[in-house]
Amino acid sequence: MKKQENAHTKKFDELGILIVMIALFVFLAIASPFFLKVENIQNLLLQSVFVMLVGFGMTFVLTIGGIDLSVGSILGYSGAVTGMVIAAGGGVFPAILAGLGTGAGFGIINGLLITQLKIAPFLVTFAMSSVVRGILLLSTTNGAVSGFAVPEFTYLAQGYIAGLPIPVFITIIVFVILLFLFKFTSFGRNVTAIGSNREVAFLSGVSCGKITVGVYMLSGLLAALSGVLLAARLTAVQSEMGSGYEMDAIAAAVIGGTSMAGGKGSIVGAIIGAVILGMISNGLDLLSVNQFYRQIIVGAIIIIAVALERFTSRKAQRV
Amino acid sequence: MGNSGNAFIEMTGITKRFPGVVALSDVSLNVNRGEVVALVGENGAGKSTLMKMLSGLYHPDEGEIRVNGKPVRITDPGCAQALGISTIFQEPSLAPHLNAVQNVYLGREVQKGLIGKAVRRLDEKAMLEETQKLYAKFFPTVEDVLVPVGQMGALKNRVIEIVKALSIKCSLVIMDEPTAALAEHERQVLFDFVHMLKSQGIAVIYITHHLRELFGLVDRIVVMRDGKNVAEVGPEDTDVDDLVARMVGRTITNYIVKEDVPVGGEILRVSGLNRKGVLEDVSLHVNRGEIVGLAGLAGAGRTETVRAIVGADKISSGTVSVGGRECRIKTPKDAIRCGIGMLPENRKLQGALIEQDVKDNITLANLKEVLAGNFILRKNKEIKTAKEYVQRLGVKTPTIYQKVKSLSGGNQQKVILAKWLFTKPQVLIFDEPTQGIDVGAKHEIYNLIANFVKEGGGILLVSSELPELLGLADRIYVMHQGKIVHEFTRAEATEENITLYASGGHES
């Protein structure tokens, strides 16, 4: 009996948000004749994947009971590093590695500060966000980072594989890897365990420190990947690139059913969350509504999603 | 009796049930104006539960509380204050960064009009003067009422709590272990305060484990056991031994059947564990086939000892050996590798991931056993393992995908035990394994413990339930104030002599 109830609530969690996405999809399809055009759908997906990649990382971070506010800055600076290396003639492939390494490196620093100095993740990543943004501002004192739009690099953003824009294609591959990591490895299991109750995990012999550093590294790495792809798409890196991405990433994860309190996360949910955010932007464009409404809507959605999550988990507790 | 005119509090027929347990059963307690009443009993006897009814934290399921002869419902702590009941909790409840004045008036600051009555400001002067007046009753010098209380010693903190209680114009002060953090000469000062309260007509309910303190201090001693009143005596008619006998004097239910298991070689040796202010030179050992008890009062250092053994807390010195080989244990992970498992005292906060399912909990501490390579979970093996342990331990759960929080306490404990058995330990440490578990499930846990030692394992058992320790253990160590003060063989140990050592009584 109880088992059925639980299975029921579990299904409802993911189903509910899927229904919201479909409803929004149907609404936009009816409201705008352009919405269902192939170019628009491609564009929508392309717009969504940058947040989605960061959202995947955020899902891990939130599931372990942390938060990463530095992803927006890391995204911007990692893109800039890749651009600068290419512009300096370092070659596309090493440049991408340098960008990804930068993101992973800042992630490791976040993780070490959190685990070794025992500072709250909110504070560490909030401060790190400022530091990294400052470094990016210094790198762009003479104007945006540019001059790296070599065809081999811009192809990353402008090419297509199997009818899908390459960033979408890459995101699908990353998704498959992360889903596996989250659900079918000891790493994913331990992330959930630590977020569920760090003391229990610690007493059960889980290496809480290592896993936590790993999670923040992953978050930094995914932000960097998003930054590299975004740089390829924009062909120049402004000092403000990526700012606000931390909010969208948190929104995507939370809308997707990941708990801000830790212990519960959904990689599939992050996809749905990011697509919903993308559809809101896209829909406002198509309906010629001021994009500034987006910020208000996203904020409201985060509050609603968290409130719903609290409500359902409190209900579940009464079982 | 209620019409004597002198009774301040009359509690009659108080019953309180928690899921699975009757915490209080038909308990009565009267306190007269200006009377000092001691409330004594073992851990879990129901003293705190009873007091929480007076401070408005719990509400009785049955029974009546009268204050000044009038029946009342004490709905919350504010209501208790309004009735003149003030509680000084065992844990200091002062805000450390605020000074004495600010603490005394916290939440009910005195204000005065600044512009008419609409805009008001704090009346610092009035609060300071009143605090100083009350404070001067205790200390001739009053200069430090403006120092943050966190910078003061334990005694002054206690005094400030008493001043706070007095400033509320209370008629009854409940003191829960007020001497816990105090040195001997400071205790004397506190006792003087109790006398002072009494002389002002204020009643005191005094809860303590230190029975010797009561003589010369209190007017009446109420003894509780297993949620019931068992005795009410004047201090002149009793002594420490008599009180201990009354506290533990329950009929020992003989539901623990001790099996004869051959005792083998030494499996666990702990030498010279030290942790500043917590543990002092704790040494013990456990042999194969042996159940070793660790007794003591709350705060004696039992939990701290077992946490230190498994590396959950840092220690300043000491060694742990398993099977004659010294283990370097820095974290619980090391302890698991050495073959030591520890079931912590709080199932929900430390034992199980209650939001996760049975399967994930069982494999958590030994995930590497169900991995392919270093990384990838073999779901089939995991499911097989979980099912096997659920069956072996008789965990009552519909499936292995059930969230642990929806299981009963006994079944949660079995899931936690399954987790540890899956690590294939040589030594298992249990910290209060049957707290809050019903009798039937207790019995099953005892059987599982017995099976473990029959297979050659060793067990260290921390328990506040003396019948449990006496029934299961081959030897019992008794701790008091961070030290092991005595070791009893099974034949020597009785509830009376354990309690005597646990409360420091042997020192007199």
Across the interface, whether the CB atoms of A263 and B310 are under 8 A apart is answered no
Residue A63 sits in which domain range?
2-22+37-318
Nearest-CB residue to A193 (from B310, B364, B377): B364
Is residue A276 one of the residues assigned to a domain? yes
- Nearest-angstrom CA–CA distance, B286 and B457: 9
**Burial of A173: CB neighbours in 10 Å, binned 0-12, 13-18, 19+:** exposed
List the end-to-end C-alpha distance of chain B, in Å, as a whole number: 39
CA distance A122 to chain B (A): 23
- Nearest-angstrom CA–CA distance, A82 and A145: 10
Q: Dig out the tokens for B229 from the structure.
A: 């009143």
pLDDT confidence of residue A14: 66
List Cβ neighbours of B133 (8 Å cut-off, separation of 6 or more).
none
Which residues lie across from B205 on neighbouring strands?
B37, B174
pLDDT confidence of residue B493: 92
Is residue A158 one of the residues assigned to a domain? yes
Q: Which amino acid is present at B340?
A: I
DSSP element (H, E) containing B12:
strand B7-18
Could you tell me how far CA B396 lies from the centroid of its own chain? Answer: 29
Helix (H, G, I), strand (E, B) or coil at A314: helix
- Mean local confidence (pLDDT), B371-393: 94
Q: What is the side-by-side order of every strand in the sheet holding B220-225?
A: B85-88, B172-176, B203-207, B36-40, B220-225, B228-233
Confidence of residue B63 (pLDDT cuts 50, 70, 90): very high
- Mean local confidence (pLDDT), B323-330: 92
Least confident of B77-91, B309-323, B453-467: B77-91
Which chain B residue's Cα is nearest to A259? B355
Q: Dig out the tokens for A233 from the structure.
A: 């798409």
pLDDT confidence of residue B5: 61
Is residue A14 one of the residues assigned to a domain? yes
Nearest-CB residue to A203 (from B312, B367, B402): B312
pLDDT confidence of residue B181: 63
- Nearest-angstrom CA–CA distance, B145 and B129: 10
Confidence of residue B303 (pLDDT cuts 50, 70, 90): very high
Count of CB atoms situated within 10 Å of the CB of B374: 9
Count of H-run helices and E-run strands, chain B: 15, 24
Q: Dig out the tokens for B198 from the structure.
A: 């009494």
Instruction: Report which DSSP code applies to B399.
Output: -
| Greatest pairwise CA separation for chain A in angstroms | 67
Helix (H, G, I), strand (E, B) or coil at B426: coil
pLDDT confidence of residue A204: 96
pLDDT confidence of residue B33: 92
**A191 shares contact with chain B (CB less than 8 Å):** no
pLDDT digits (tens, 9 = 90+) for B263-298: 889 999 999 999 988 899 999 999 999 999 999 887
Q: Which residues of B touch A (CB under 8 A)?
A: 310, 312, 331-333, 335-337, 342, 344, 349-356, 360, 364-368, 371, 374-377, 379, 398-399, 401-403, 405-406, 419, 423
ipTM of this complex: 0.86
B390-400 core/surface letters (b: 16 or more CB in 10 A; e: else): beebebebeeb
**A189 shares contact with chain B (CB less than 8 Å):** yes
Reported in sequence order, the residue ranges of A123-244 that DSSP labels E, i.e. its strands, are 160-161, 164-165
Helix (H, G, I), strand (E, B) or coil at A222: helix
pLDDT confidence of residue B166: 74
- Mean local confidence (pLDDT), B155-179: 81
- How many residues belong to chain A? 319
**Tokens 């019409």 belong to residue:** B3
Is residue A259 one of the residues assigned to a domain? yes
pTM for the complete prediction? 0.77
Across the interface, whether the CB atoms of A190 and B376 are under 8 A apart is answered no
- Nearest-angstrom CA–CA distance, B421 and B195: 55
pLDDT confidence of residue A314: 55
**Burial of B440: CB neighbours in 10 Å, binned 0-12, 13-18, 19+:** exposed
- Nearest-angstrom CA–CA distance, A172 and A48: 12
- Nearest-angstrom CA–CA distance, A149 and A241: 16
Reported in sequence order, the residue ranges of A90-224 that DSSP labels E, i.e. its strands, are 160-161, 164-165
Across the interface, whether the CB atoms of B353 and A184 are under 8 A apart is answered no
Q: How far is CA B478 from CA A217, B180, B245, B489, B501, in A?
A: 48, 19, 18, 11, 7
pLDDT digits (tens, 9 = 90+) for B104-154: 888 778 877 777 667 777 888 888 888 887 777 666 665 677 888 877 777
Helix (H, G, I), strand (E, B) or coil at A114: helix
Helix (H, G, I), strand (E, B) or coil at B205: strand
- Nearest-angstrom CA–CA distance, A211 and A218: 10
CB-based contact B289:B263 (threshold 8 Å): yes
Percent of chain B surpassing pLDDT 70: 92
Instruction: Report which DSSP code applies to B169.
Output: T
Chain A CB contacts of B368 below 8 Å? 186
pLDDT confidence of residue B252: 42
pLDDT digits (tens, 9 = 90+) for B2-32: 445 689 999 999 999 877 678 899 999 999 9
Please list the ranges in chain A whose pLDDT falls under 70: 1-14, 309, 312-319
pLDDT confidence of residue A318: 40
Across the interface, whether the CB atoms of B355 and A263 are under 8 A apart is answered yes
Across the interface, whether the CB atoms of A203 and B352 are under 8 A apart is answered no
Q: How far is CA A146 from CA A80, A100, A156, B266, in A?
A: 9, 18, 16, 71
Which among B246, B240, B229 is positioned nearest to B30, based on CA atoms? Answer: B229
pLDDT digits (tens, 9 = 90+) for B351-373: 999 999 999 999 999 999 999 98
**A312 shares contact with chain B (CB less than 8 Å):** no
Reported in sequence order, the residue ranges of A159-219 that DSSP labels E, i.e. its strands, are 160-161, 164-165
CATH at residue A136: 1.10.3470
Confidence of residue B309 (pLDDT cuts 50, 70, 90): very high
CA distance A194 to chain B (A): 9
Chain A CB contacts of B403 below 8 Å? 6
CB-based contact B42:B247 (threshold 8 Å): yes
pLDDT confidence of residue B150: 79
Number of folded domains that form chain A = 1
pLDDT digits (tens, 9 = 90+) for B191-215: 888 898 899 899 999 998 778 889 9
Is residue A74 one of the residues assigned to a domain? yes
Is residue A27 one of the residues assigned to a domain? no
CB-based contact B90:B64 (threshold 8 Å): no
Helix (H, G, I), strand (E, B) or coil at B29: strand
- Nearest-angstrom CA–CA distance, B224 and B229: 5
Is residue A32 one of the residues assigned to a domain? no
- Cα torsion A108, A111, A112, A117 to 10°: value is 160
CA distance B3 to chain A (A): 45
Chain B CB contacts of A193 below 8 Å? 353, 356, 360, 364
Across the interface, whether the CB atoms of A200 and B350 are under 8 A apart is answered yes
- Nearest-angstrom CA–CA distance, A311 and B221: 48
List Cβ neighbours of B317 (8 Å cut-off, separation of 6 or more).
B272, B273, B274
- Mean local confidence (pLDDT), B89-115: 79
Higher model confidence: residue B501 or residue A317?
B501
For testing the chain B interface, which of A182, A194, A200 should be mutated: the one with the most B CBs within 10 Å? A200
pLDDT confidence of residue B31: 95
CB-based contact B28:B229 (threshold 8 Å): yes
Q: Which amino acid is present at B169?
A: K
**Burial of B313: CB neighbours in 10 Å, binned 0-12, 13-18, 19+:** middle
Across the interface, whether the CB atoms of B356 and A205 are under 8 A apart is answered no
Is residue A103 one of the residues assigned to a domain? yes
Higher model confidence: residue A16 or residue B438?
A16
